[in-house]
Structure 1
Amino acid sequence: MAEIVVASGKGGVGKSTVSSSLSVILHEKSIGIVDADAEAPNLHIIFDINEWEKEIDYRDKSLAVIDYSKCDKCLICERVCTYEAIYHDEIVKIRDYICEGCAACKIACPRKAIKIVSGLHSGWIRISSTPYGPFVTSELDVGQSNSGKLVTEEKNIARGWIREGRVRNLIVDSAAGIGCQVIASMSGATHAILVVEPTESSLSDMKRAYNLAFHFRVKPYIIINKSDLNPGFNGIREFARENDVEIIGEIPYDRVVPRSMAFRKPLVVYDPDSRASRAIAEISEQIKNLLD
């Protein structure tokens, strides 16, 4: 079993383009597909998924609730709430989309007029199928926290497919950055594909993703996207050489890529003969050796 997470440290560098295209090319290797960006999922758009085989109500939110029969409007709760979730006009109110359920207000309330309610709806896990393998994604509701826990639940579902014999390998399209979602994506993975553009900013962010992979002992590889836009930039190759990380391919800039997104198709399906598609096909031959 191989669990390959596609990450970067920076948004907009082509992770989803790479993930979706690899899923298509490598589908004969029995692939399960995971969109692990619970705050901004987009793989379902690329795969043109409009209906879900299963939707799971994810309930992980905690919320402060006021008992107005006990509240005397002393406003101590408002003062102790560091999230500014509590405010007042005629009565004391709670902004439920900001409240973290931390219980500071409950502890501080001298009238014991506040309780914490847990297990409330905070998002969705959605499961469907593509022509290339089973697919799972998630979506956290606006203002909700614990995106890492939601991604972990997604991955547990996908790992269940492996135990059931439905698939042998997983491709995980990670969120940008190195926050909770990416930590959850990287945890337990076998390989990390780090997508980077030839700029100082992208390299700096990729280094953070590399450090995260190193922490979790996940074997990293590098793909340079839009590799021909800054030919004089050698920072990525120097970093790879100094840290003994293999650059498994370069993808040239290609105007076909945004058009494939607009038509809701993976790049290698929309135009398999484009420059970028051919480059990804070459990269997939190396990744194929990592799969079970």
Structure 2
Amino acid sequence: MQIAIASGKGGVGKSSVTASLVYLLKDTYKLIAIDADADAPNLDLLFNVEKWEEEKELTGAKIAKINTETCIQCGICAERCPYDCINFIDGDYVVNELTCEGCGVCRLVCPVKGVITLEEVRSGIIRKTTTKYNFPLISAQLDVGRPNSGKLVTEEKEWAKKIMKEQNLEHMIVDSAAGIGCQVIASLGGADAVILIAEPTPASLSDVKRVYKVVQHFREPAYLIINKADLNPGFRRLHEFAEEEDIPIIGEIPYDRAVPKSMTMLQPVNEAFPQSKASKALKEIAKIVEEEILR
């Protein structure tokens, strides 16, 4: 199975919940974990990954290049660039590679053929390792200013499928990025189930509703975990939302200082503080995941 873990909003504890669930399920099932947040990957930190066994570069992004020797310096490209990434520097028109989106407008409006070209550059890297817990982890890192984060996640999942076949693994657990952008869509596409993480605040409720619409588009079953559930006990709108949409709430995790402490120790909270309040709640959630999703 492919299980995607999403939140819509950042900072609600999605990665820490993912790390604990993988940690708790690893001895029962043959798993592979994917960090699908190519902008800000952090799952490797929670598993204390010190080195990567293999890395692959992903190309496909394009940026404009101006041949300064044949450029007639008319400035039309700078005027028409929708991203304002062409500047006149030291007597030449130069493209800012960090802000160029490779749209090709500059090449289209340039009066001299061949002066401006679109060149393919690296979008980022995909990397794989075997954690100290003996399950594979795939992560990606998008280069600064580059597009194609969704493509990076798709490539991660394709690599994971290949490893699953080679190693006879059973389940793929995907830690999605925040928001509802390309990365999240790529994470949710093809999933057999989605676990939504939210905290009892209006902002988190609003964002989890948005990502749930994406889940509905893919017609995937959804489950909800309420994290830091006791921080705002009077806030019942998450429960109302789950009831209205017929989304099972598979657990509520109390706020626990053990969670940030475990992060500084580079360990899942269930390993660092197995008797903490959060660890006990996560252990119960893992049982429900086994009974209701994986079997």
Residue in structure 1 matched with residue 99 of structure 2 by the alignment: 98
Matched AA of 1:273 = Q
Q: CA deviation at 1:267?
A: 1.0
Residue in structure 1 matched with residue 257 of structure 2 by the alignment: 255
Matched AA of 1:23 = V
Maintained 8 Å contact 2:4/2:174 = yes
Matched AA of 1:107 = L
Unaligned runs of 5+ in 1: none
1:20 aligns to 2:22 (yes or no): no
Q: CA deviation at 1:177?
A: 0.6
1:215 aligns to 2:217 (yes or no): yes
Q: Describe how 1:162-201 pairs up with structure 2 within 5 A.
A: 162-201=164-203
Q: CA deviation at 1:100?
A: 1.1
1:262-292, Cα deviation, whole Å (9 max, x unpaired): 1111111111111001100000011113226
CA distance in 2, matches of 1:267, 1:7: 19
1:203-262, Cα deviation, whole Å (9 max, x unpaired): 010001111101111111000000011111110111111111100000000001101111
CA distance in 2, matches of 1:106, 1:263: 51
1:150-174, Cα deviation, whole Å (9 max, x unpaired): 0100011111122224311011000
Give the stretch that moved more between structures: 62-71 or 36-45: 62-71
Q: CA deviation at 1:201?
A: 0.9
Residue in structure 2 matched with residue 243 of structure 1 by the alignment: 245
1:61 aligns to 2:64 (yes or no): no
Maintained 8 Å contact 1:123/1:141 = yes
Unaligned runs of 5+ in 2: none
CA distance in 2, matches of 1:96, 1:192: 37
CA distance in 1, matches of 2:219, 2:130: 31
CA distance in 2, matches of 1:39, 1:271: 29
Partner of 2:15: helix, strand, or coil?
helix
1:73 aligns to 2:73 (yes or no): yes
1:108 aligns to 2:117 (yes or no): no
Q: CA deviation at 1:132?
A: 4.5
Q: How many residues align?
A: 290
| Selected match of 1:234 from 215, 219, 236 | 236
Matched AA of 2:16 = T
Partner of 1:202: helix, strand, or coil?
helix
What TM-score, normalized by structure 1, do the two folds share?
A: 0.97
Residue in structure 2 matched with residue 203 of structure 1 by the alignment: 205
Matched AA of 1:291 = L
Q: CA deviation at 1:68?
A: 1.8
CA distance in 1, matches of 2:204, 2:117: 45
CA distance in 1, matches of 2:37, 2:134: 20
Give the stretch that moved more between structures: 164-173 or 79-88: 164-173
CA distance in 2, matches of 1:267, 1:132: 18
1:68-105, Cα deviation, whole Å (9 max, x unpaired): 22201100000111111111131100001111111110
1:29-71, Cα deviation, whole Å (9 max, x unpaired): 1110000000000001111111010011121221111112220
Residue in structure 2 matched with residue 225 of structure 1 by the alignment: 227
Give the stretch that moved more between structures: 88-97 or 163-172: 163-172
CA distance in 2, matches of 1:121, 1:212: 29
Matched AA of 2:128 = I
CA distance in 2, matches of 1:249, 1:6: 14
Q: Segments of 4+ in structure 1 off by > 3 A? A: none
**Percent of aligned pairs sharing the same letter:** 47
Matched AA of 1:155 = K
CA distance in 1, matches of 2:269, 2:182: 29
Maintained 8 Å contact 1:63/1:116 = yes
Residue in structure 2 matched with residue 291 of structure 1 by the alignment: 294
Matched AA of 2:294 = L
Residue in structure 2 matched with residue 140 of structure 1 by the alignment: 142
Maintained 8 Å contact 1:47/1:264 = yes
What TM-score, normalized by structure 2, do the two folds share?
A: 0.96
